[in-house]
Amino acid sequence: MSDGQGSGNLKITLVRSTIGRRKDQEATVRSLGLRKLHSSVVRPDNASIRGMVLKIRHLLTVEEVEAAQGGTESAAPKRAAKTSRARKSTSSE
């Protein structure tokens, strides 16, 4: 993290578990959008995000990324939506 704040985005990855951590630290992890271990998100580089990162820096790795690489990333691939299947009706006479 460089001194020039507000100049791009930060890729934030959760590398340590929140089990046994204080509730406010768990809430900070969730508010950053991190749900599972080794999941990553890209957030704007601003004072509020940096404050959250500073609070839980022992649980995270942080990289600066270009603004063109914005968006949210996840370590696990997204699952396809389930399609509904019509049930076969069995008629008994």
Other beta carbons less than 10 A from residue 86's beta carbon? 5
Domain extent listing, the chain: 9-67
- Tell if the pTM clears 0.75, that is, is over it: no
- At 7 the pLDDT is 74
Residue-wise pLDDT tens digits, 49-65: 999 999 999 999 999 99
Q: With contact defined as beta carbons under 8 Å apart, do 22 and 29 qualify?
A: no
Say which CATH topology domain 9-67 has. Answer: Ribosomal Protein L30; Chain: A, (3.30.1390)
